[in-house]
Amino acid sequence: MTVLIRDLRPNDPSDAESVVRVRRSALPFMITTAEGVAFEVGSAHPDAHFRLLVAHTGEGLVIGTAQLGIAYDSPEPGRSYVNAYVDPAHRGLGAGSLLLRTAEEHLAARGAVDTYAWVLDEPAHRAFAGRRGYRPSRSAHFLRLDLAAAALPPLPQTLPAGVELRPASAFAADPRPLFEADAETTYDEPGDLASDFDDYEDWLAHTWNSPSLDKDLTTVVVVDGVVAAFTAAQTDGATRYASAMTGTLRAFRGRGLAKLAKTASLHRARAAGYTEAFTGNDSENGPMLAINTWFGYEICATETRYTKKLETV
């Protein structure tokens, strides 16, 4: 069967839906929507040289996809990423290899010297990455919570003096305090690439304005008028909810504020009709893994971060 590679057609809604279908079949723990796919392409920073590729059969059926780009905000030049997904029903046709080859050639031509990819920790996926020159580094877990049936911890009947819970939507007029909180806590988290997290306008464009960010379920803990902790929520607008990032600013750690934010957000998500909750944990992030286990999350899959040196063009 012939497999061809092309870019996503941004003005074709069926193309975005095909990408969602492939991503959900290959990685069902990820929140993805057609609106979010279109946003990825439309909001990409020009310095990222971002592409969203699709692999399709000669008959036009989309069977694989990949998103790739230059880490333009990294202080280390030449860093890049590529994440490829193939519909499990159509593996073995060469779609994954073609997607990676196209991605690597594009990235190398734009100055990338290395790239990273997340790979499911399964024998076939590990072998595929190894044959193509990728080498494993660190790992991370996907965790799932049956939100419809979970015995969530109760919210405290009264909050400590000076402590408030607010939705992110309450910061619509001025979200900069949330940007500053995100920057500080992200700096302390294990991450894929070092990043100069100092561009407020870029954060507005790619994080705050993302259609996947649910600003009503994203929950912020404010202490004496200052943002102290938060949990960012992503949803698919139907049944799936995900904790995208949870953090506490250094000056407020050790007071249980991250648990408070997550508890409030999960209760509100269930009340809004969401039945599944997902989150992710770096395998080395013991404190956050302990918090999620306390909520009842269970590991449902593991990914490994693979890296590869690229031949410059």
Helix (H, G, I), strand (E, B) or coil at 80: strand
Give every residue of the chain whose pLDDT is below 50, as ranges.
none
Q: pLDDT of 101-150, one tens digit each?
A: 999 999 999 999 999 999 999 999 999 999 999 999 999 999 999 999 99
d(CA 88, CA 63): 9
Write down the pLDDT at residue 209.
97
Write down the pLDDT at residue 188.
72
Which residue from 144, 121, 133, 142 is spatially nearest to 304, judged by alpha carbons?
121
Q: C-alpha angle 234/212/173, rounded to 5°?
A: 95
| Domain 3-112, CATH class in plain words | alpha beta
| CATH 3.40.630.30 domain position(s) in the chain | 3-112, 145-302
Write down the pLDDT at residue 190.
58
Write down the pLDDT at residue 239.
96
Helix count (H) and strand count (E) of the chain?
8, 12
Largest CA distance in the chain: 66
d(CA 66, CA 115): 13
Q: Is the dihedral of CA 300, 218, 166, 254 positive or negative?
A: positive
What burial class does residue 149 get, using C-beta atoms within 10 Å of its C-beta: 0-12 exposed, 13-18 middle, 19+ buried? exposed
pTM of the model: 0.92
Q: Is the dihedral of CA 252, 167, 212, 258 positive or negative?
A: positive
Give the residue carrying structure tokens 């409030």. 264
Write down the pLDDT at residue 74.
87
Strand partners of residue 6 = 54
Fold of 145-302: Aminopeptidase (3.40.630)
